[in-house]
Every structure is written in C-alpha cells, then in structure tokens.
C-alpha cells in the first residue's frame, strides 16, 4: 500500500492565525488554488480511494485533488483535528492574542507540557485515534496493493506520522506544523511496520 497524507489547504482562519480545531471552516480562495495545484502535480497517481476528516476544509481539499476522477471519498472521525475547546476561533498572534501565552507556547514549542483547554482534546487522545487509523488501514487486506489519499489536519497529521516512528512527546511537531497542502508518503505492507518515504513535500 502507498498512502499520500495531506494537510488541508489554507482557510481564512489559517490566514489570520486563529485556532480552528473542530470548527468547520472551509478553504479560502488561496486554499482552493493550492489544493488544485497539488491535484495537478498528483494527476498521474492512481488513487483507488480516499479517506478524509469529516471537516469541510479536509473534504474540499480531497475533492480538489481528485477532481474529474471517480474515486470514493470516505469520511473517518479518527482523522478530525484536535479540539481546542473554549479557545476554538481564538487568534494567537502577538498583536491579537486571545489565548494564554504559555498555553499556546506549550502547544507549539513544548508539547510535553501541553494541557488541553477546557472542553478540548489532549495530545494523548489525538495520538491514540490516529494510531488506530494507521494500524487499521495498514491491516486491511483489500488495500494492500492500492494507493490511497488521506486528507487531514496539522495536529492529526503529526499524530499519524508519529505513530510509525520512534519519537518523544517533546518532538511531537518534528520541526514544525506542516504547511497547507504539504504531502507525506507512507508505504505499508500487511504485517510489516509502515515506512515514511517522504515528508512535507510541497507541489506549489
């Protein structure tokens, strides 16, 4: 199996540096453009099916990439973004910070000290469900000779990749949040450990 894992295209909230989490925000014009460019670059990849987070920004990205193809797109809750609880929709820029500075610093730069906001989700929970997705998909006999697309989010994508490599919580982000429409490629043979072949490839 070959798996192309992509972070969704840009949204208005991405542009303003606001926390989206489970908020259902669609792509902006630039996000659609980036997804379409990525789709053109991947036009010769023989995708058999796609799995996507149920949130519109991830679904729309998958639709842009697979435009003109008869490829089934399946929603999977395990690919949804981390919930930021009461801080959803809040911005975190220096000039417009609406969340506690230490809290947001921990999330991006000291994840080992990150504590979920009230009503939010922990990184432990994100890693558990994304690992479950990866193990499930890689074990499916009917997908062993297939190429699939996985459309997800920044934090959830990190959970997926961290599930197949040895890493400590301190290194959760492994160099930073993936850019919008960045693609990582994983190969997996049933019964064997998945292999990360390429990470955060940009096609624009």
CA torsion through residues 49, 146, 193, 109, sign = negative
Three-state SS sequence of 42-85: CCCCCEEEEEECCCHHHHHHHHHHCCCCCCCEEECHHHCCCCCH
pLDDT digits (tens, 9 = 90+) for 22-80: 999 999 999 999 999 999 999 999 999 999 999 999 999 999 999 999 999 999 999 99
- Is 81 a catalytic site residue? yes
pLDDT at 136: 95
Q: Which of 60, 70, 81, 109 is catalytic?
A: 81
- Is 109 a catalytic site residue? no
Q: Hey, is 88 helix, strand or coil? A: coil
Element (H or E) spanning 156, and its range?
Answer: helix 154-162
CA torsion through residues 11, 75, 139, 130, sign = positive
The residues of the chain scoring below 50 in pLDDT are: none
């Amino acid at each position: 199996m070959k798996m192309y894992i992509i972070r969704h295209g840009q949204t208005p909230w991405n542009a303003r540096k606001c926390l989206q989490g489970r908020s259902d925000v669609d792509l902006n014009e630039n996000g659609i453009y980036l997804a379409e460019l990525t789709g053109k670059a991947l036009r010769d990849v023989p995708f058999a099916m796609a799995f996507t987070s149920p949130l519109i920004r991830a679904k729309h990205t998958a639709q842009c990439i697979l435009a003109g193809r008869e490829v089934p797109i399946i929603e999977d809750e395990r690919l949804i973004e981390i919930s930021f609880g009461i801080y959803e929709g809040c911005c975190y820029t220096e000039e417009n910070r609406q969340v506690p500075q230490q809290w947001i610093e921990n999330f991006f730069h000291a994840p080992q000290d990150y504590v979920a906001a009230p009503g939010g989700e922990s990184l432990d929970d994100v890693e558990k469900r994304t690992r479950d997705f990866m193990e499930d998909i890689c074990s499916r006999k009917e997908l062993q000779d297939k190429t699939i697309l996985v459309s997800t989010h920044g934090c959830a994508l990190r959970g997926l990749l961290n599930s197949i490599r040895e890493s400590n919580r301190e290194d959760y982000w492994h160099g930073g949040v993936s850019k919008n429409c960045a693609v990582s490629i994983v190969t997996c043979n049933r019964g064997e450990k998945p292999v990360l072949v390429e990470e955060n490839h940009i096609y624009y």
